[in-house]
Amino acid sequence: MDQTEARRRFSSAEVAVLATVDATGAPHAVPVTFVVDHDTAWTAVDGKPKGSTALRRHDNIRANPRVSLLAQHWDADWSRLWWVRVDGTAALDDTEGTLRRVSGLLQAKYPQYEQVPVTGPVIEIRLQRWRGWAAADPLSP
């Protein structure tokens, strides 16, 4: 799969898995909503209930900013399977302007964000390396 097709599939996916590692190298993976804007992906802490406001993904990013996002499509028809993984560098941002901007981007992709506030911080992921696989070439009949 070329990078253009990987970007298209990844950007249109509804959910991705954010993979981080802590300071000791222990992995942590969590499903996230996200939006891609140029060479950056954004995901946010929002108003949905959580067990704690101290999120492990944030601690991990502070300790090691290298992350991966994985989006996939599963189907009983295995000829329609695909996945895209993007590796990048993450940072946390809780500035008011960024929260407003990312909230707007997320609202454009997910109507639910009109009712669920983005409380921050947001995670900015600078997308650096694209990898993907599809069972069938998208140009095939």
Domain with 109 in it: what CATH number? 2.30.110.10
Q: How many domains does the chain have?
A: 1
pLDDT of residue 53: 61
Q: How far is CA 119 from CA 39, 46, 93, 104, in A?
A: 23, 5, 11, 13
pLDDT of residue 141: 34
Residue 141 lies in a domain: no
The ranges of the chain with pLDDT < 50 are: 139-141
Its domain, for residue 62, covers: 3-128
Residue 139 lies in a domain: no
pLDDT of residue 51: 57
Q: Whole-model pTM?
A: 0.89
Q: What is the DSSP letter of 108?
A: H
Query: Which pair of structure tokens corresponds to residue 18?
Result: 């954010």
pLDDT of residue 117: 84
pLDDT of residue 116: 85
Residue 73 lies in a domain: yes
pLDDT of residue 47: 62
Residue 93 lies in a domain: yes
